[in-house]
């Protein structure tokens, strides 16, 4: 895949950073959005916008930056990768602070809704291949004790993708819409989870065992598979597991 424009959220580290690196290796242009900029994303084709996705009323700033980069250039592929997610709150629902619930849902569900709406509106008339991707999780389908907020946000993302996929399905230059399940990856979120006590977070012991047994994949390995998924075509709204690649 070459000559593509990719808007990726959560590029400061982890999966988002790794995806951006892989995409930049193939003569593509990336706009990364995160509060902090990765020191390893130094390509001349990489553009960064420091932005807090909690500021949902200001998300139009992201599309303004995208407009600035895309301009009148002709890209062969336009892609939005909604990757950003929050680590907290973890724990029983009655122990989750209201401000952390609010932030988690804004970053993991509301911001992707708004950004996807604006991305599709901006490029709806562009006659090229286009794609909207949501980095999801098996937590969208399976309940976990202590993960009520995370599971709920991911379940919402899954339904969002399915609905948008139906809306785009019959359009001549409609957007391809999928969610991706990256599997268990050694990210900051995993570090936070296994740093909890079992009293704080019911799945903490499971997360520690997964790490100790080497069951977590490295972000770079997962990003390579995700790049293949971005290149391939799937049914609208499909949930694609990295293990299928």
- The answer to whether the beta carbons of residues 207 and 163 sit under 8 Å apart is no
- The answer to whether the beta carbons of residues 196 and 147 sit under 8 Å apart is no
Give residues with Cβ within 8 angstroms of 234, minimum separation 6: 176, 178, 240
- The answer to whether the beta carbons of residues 131 and 175 sit under 8 Å apart is yes
Strand partners, 146: none
Give residues with Cβ within 8 angstroms of 60, minimum separation 6: 118
CA–chain centroid gap for 105, Å, is 14
Q: Describe the strand order of the beta sheet including 238-241 as a list of residue ranges.
A: 46-50, 29-34, 4-9, 77-82, 129-135, 176-181, 238-241
Q: Which positions are annotated as active-site residues?
A: 150
Strand, coil or helix: what is 91? coil
219 burial type by CB count under 10 A (0-12 exposed, 13-18 middle, 19+ buried): buried
**The token pair that represents 142 in the structure block:** 């399976």
């Amino acid at each position: 895949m070459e000559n593509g424009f990719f808007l990726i959220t959560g590029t400061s580290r982890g999966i988002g950073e790794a995806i951006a690196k892989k995409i930049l290796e193939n003569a593509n242009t990336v706009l990364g959005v995160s509060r902090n900029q990765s020191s390893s994303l130094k390509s001349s084709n990489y553009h960064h916008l420091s932005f807090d996705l909690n500021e949902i009323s200001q998300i139009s700033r992201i599309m303004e930056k995208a407009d600035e980069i895309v301009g009148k250039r002709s890209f062969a592929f336009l892609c939005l990768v909604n990757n950003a997610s929050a680590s907290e709150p973890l724990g029983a629902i009655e122990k989750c602070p209201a401000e952390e619930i609010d932030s988690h849902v804004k970053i993991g569900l509301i911001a992707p809704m708004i950004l996807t709406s604006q991305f599709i509106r901006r490029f709806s008339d562009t006659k090229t291949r286009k794609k909207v991707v949501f980095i999801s999780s098996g937590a969208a389908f399976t309940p976990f004790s202590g993960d009520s907020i995370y599971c709920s946000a991911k379940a919402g993302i899954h339904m969002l993708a399915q609905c948008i996929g139906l809306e785009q399905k019959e359009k001549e230059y409609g957007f391809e819409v999928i969610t991706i399940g990256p599997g268990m990856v050694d990210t900051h979120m995993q570090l936070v989870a296994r740093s909890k006590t079992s009293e704080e977070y019911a799945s903490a012991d499971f997360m520690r065992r997964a790490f100790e047994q080497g069951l977590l994949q490295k972000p770079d390995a997962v990003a390579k598979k995700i790049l293949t998924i971005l290149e391939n075509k799937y049914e609208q709204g499909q949930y694609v597991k990295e293990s299928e690649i």
